[in-house]
Amino acid sequence: MPRLIRLDADAPIRVEPQDKPVFVCACGLSQKFPFCDGSHKGCKSETPGKVSVYDAERKTVIEERDEG
């Protein structure tokens, strides 16, 4: 069942301590969820004050809605 999940982060969450940093997705767009794959870079094109609805592959904004 599809669902609209509201996330407003536009960067990953860094988890430490590790031998090397681990980044956890906070935007919800990663194809490797729960790990960050850099998909949050697409958040830069989102319109402030709007809810961006993405396609099933989480790659393209198909609709913008008013917040509320």
* Position 8 in a domain: no
* Position 50 in a domain: yes
* Position 5 in a domain: no
* Position 51 in a domain: yes
How many domains does the chain divide into? 1
* Position 33 in a domain: yes
Whether the CB-CB separation of 62 and 53 falls below 8 Å is answered with yes
Whether the CB-CB separation of 64 and 50 falls below 8 Å is answered with yes
Residues of the chain with pLDDT under 50: 1
Q: CA 32, CA 39: separation in Å to the nearest integer?
A: 10
* Position 2 in a domain: no
Tokens 């960050």 correspond to: 36
Domain extent, residue 34, equals 13-66
Query: Up-side HSE of residue 49: CA atoms within 13 Å toward CB?
Result: 0
pTM: 0.70
Model confidence pLDDT, tens digit, residues 49-59 = 888 888 888 88
